[in-house]
């Protein structure tokens, strides 16, 4: 039968858990080395920005208009142009992936321009849909810009009276790193919060020390609290390290406050730690616990949280599943704090959802961690 909570006993258990963490090098590798590797991977290795696309340019018309448009493609910052005489000479390069598309300025283009038209052909590789759509859109954009400038030089009115002036708030250059780096912090916190804590109770069962703990007066809530506190601090430490690297190395702006960042991180660590402890209590095996943690926490954070793929573009049933992924509520908050600033009216619903997940996980953990050997 457990006694009432005693600060001295709690402190002794806390020291014991801290010493156990300090003697395990893998804990510090996951908490501090792995976050740096992941941050550099997502900051430099993953890039969703569209740089120069290598394309072929086929010019079959010798008019002044055709040569002028060809010059626009050759000087465009979006394309690295390889000019050739025929499509057949570039088709093998397109299939092999050495170029991303073929822009064809057809015969009679100059005559079409004189009549108020002017069509081009863009050939792309549909096996890479994103690259194909980028090349097609930018090729048409260069042509439209060229046509507008040509009409303005000649004093002609534009065909359409509507003009679009696009303005991008908070991230004017549409730099994907500003989204990827805060999102990678969510991945790091998932690894530290769920993967590490998924091993702690299972480790006690495997080493045979759980029976000794059950023979002491310590209560299960007190026992779980001593397991959570050190990893909570490790999670905040990893987040702080990643934030410093994001600002100093990757140049991501932090327009919000440090207070908001720590409140959001603490709210997410609550369900992350609870999920890890629940997995550990149910499996009682470190290998199985680590696999379950990867399948139920790490992979959903990568695929279903909106980190790499837009949730709105997913099928409706999958969108419904994303509401069960805690990191879905973290990533928008991190991106808002870094790029836009503090907005507590947006933070509050997500923080409440995270606290709800955490309460559920810890309640199930207390229920699963009973004072019995089975």
39 and 245 Cβ atoms separated by less than 8 Å: yes
Taking residue 306's Cβ as centre, other Cβ atoms within 10 Å add up to 24
pLDDT of residue 373: 46
Domains of the chain are 7-46+175-368 (no CATH), 53-153 (3.40.1710.10)
pLDDT of residue 1: 43
Report the interhelical angle of 220-248 vs 177-190 (nearest 10°). 160
pTM of the predicted model, to two decimals?
A: 0.74
- Strands in 79-84's sheet, in edge-to-edge order, are 79-84, 53-59, 101-105, 121-124
For 87, 113, 243, 317, 342, the CA distances from 335, given in Å and listed in that order, are 44, 46, 12, 25, 10
pLDDT of residue 174: 64
* Nearest 10 degrees: Cα torsion 89, 92, 98, 103: 50
Structure tokens at 90: 């570039």
Distance CA 238, CA 194 (A): 13
121-136: buried (b, 16+ CB within 10 Å) or exposed (e) per residue? ebbbbeeeeebbebbe
Structure tokens at 112: 């079409």
Across the chain, which distance is largest between two alpha carbons, in Å? 95
Ordered DSSP codes for 26-94: HHHIIIIIHHHHHHHIIIII---S--PEEEEEEE---SHHHHHHHHHHHH-TTEEEEEES-THHHHHHH
Q: Specify burial of residue 214 (Cβ count, 10 A radius: 0-12, 13-18, 19+).
A: middle
Residue with structure tokens 């999958």? 318
Identify which of 277, 190, 182, 166 has the alpha carbon closest to the alpha carbon of residue 226. 277
For the chain (374 residues), the mean pLDDT of every run of 10, in chain order, is: 66 80 79 84 69 83 87 86 81 83 88 82 79 82 84 59 57 75 88 85 76 70 83 90 91 91 94 91 86 91 87 88 94 90 91 95 84 50
pLDDT of residue 325: 93
Report the interhelical angle of 258-283 vs 344-368 (nearest 10°). 20
Phi, psi torsion values for 57, nearest 5 degrees: -125, 120
Q: How many helices (H) and strands (E) does the chain have?
A: 17, 4
- 3-state DSSP assignment of residue 122: strand
pLDDT of residue 257: 92
100 and 123 Cβ atoms separated by less than 8 Å: no
338 and 182 Cβ atoms separated by less than 8 Å: yes
């Amino acid at each position: 039968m457990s006694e009432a909570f005693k600060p001295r006993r709690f402190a002794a258990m806390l020291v014991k858990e801290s010493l156990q963490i300090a003697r395990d090098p893998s804990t510090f590798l996951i908490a501090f080395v792995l976050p740096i590797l992941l941050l550099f991977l997502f900051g430099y290795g993953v890039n969703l920005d569209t740089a120069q696309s290598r394309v072929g340019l086929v010019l079959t018309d010798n008019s002044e208009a055709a040569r002028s448009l060809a010059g626009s493609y050759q000087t465009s910052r979006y394309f690295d142009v390889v000019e050739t005489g025929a499509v057949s000479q570039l088709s093998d390069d397109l299939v092999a992936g050495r170029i991303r598309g073929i822009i064809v300025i057809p015969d009679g283009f100059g005559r079409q321009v004189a009549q108020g038209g002017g069509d081009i052909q863009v050939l792309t590789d549909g096996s890479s849909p994103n690259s194909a759509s980028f090349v097609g859109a930018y090729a048409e954009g260069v042509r439209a810009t060229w046509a507008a400038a040509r009409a303005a030089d000649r004093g002609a009115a534009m065909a359409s009276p509507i003009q679009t002036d696009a303005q991008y708030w908070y991230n004017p250059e549409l730099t994907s790193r500003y989204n990827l780096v805060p999102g990678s912090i969510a991945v790091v916190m998932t690894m530290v919060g769920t993967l590490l804590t998924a091993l702690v109770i299972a480790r006690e069962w495997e080493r045979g020390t759980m029976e000794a703990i059950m023979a002491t007066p310590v209560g299960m809530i007190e026992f779980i609290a001593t397991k959570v506190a050190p990893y909570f601090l490790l999670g905040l430490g990893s987040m702080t390290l990643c934030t410093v690297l994001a600002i100093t190395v990757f140049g991501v702006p932090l327009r919000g406050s440090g207070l908001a960042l720590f409140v959001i991180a603490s709210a997410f660590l609550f369900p992350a730690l609870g999920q890890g402890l629940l997995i550990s209590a149910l499996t009682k095996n470190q290998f199985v616990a680590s696999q379950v943690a990867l399948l139920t926490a790490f992979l959903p954070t990568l695929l279903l949280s909106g980190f790499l793929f837009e949730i709105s573009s997913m099928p409706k049933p999958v969108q419904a599943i994303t509401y069960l992924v805690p990191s879905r509520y973290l990533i928008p908050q991190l991106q808002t704090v870094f790029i836009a600033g503090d907005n507590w009216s947006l933070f509050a619903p997500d923080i409440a959802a995270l606290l709800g997940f955490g309460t559920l996980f810890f309640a199930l953990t207390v229920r699963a961690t009973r004072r019995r050997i089975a």
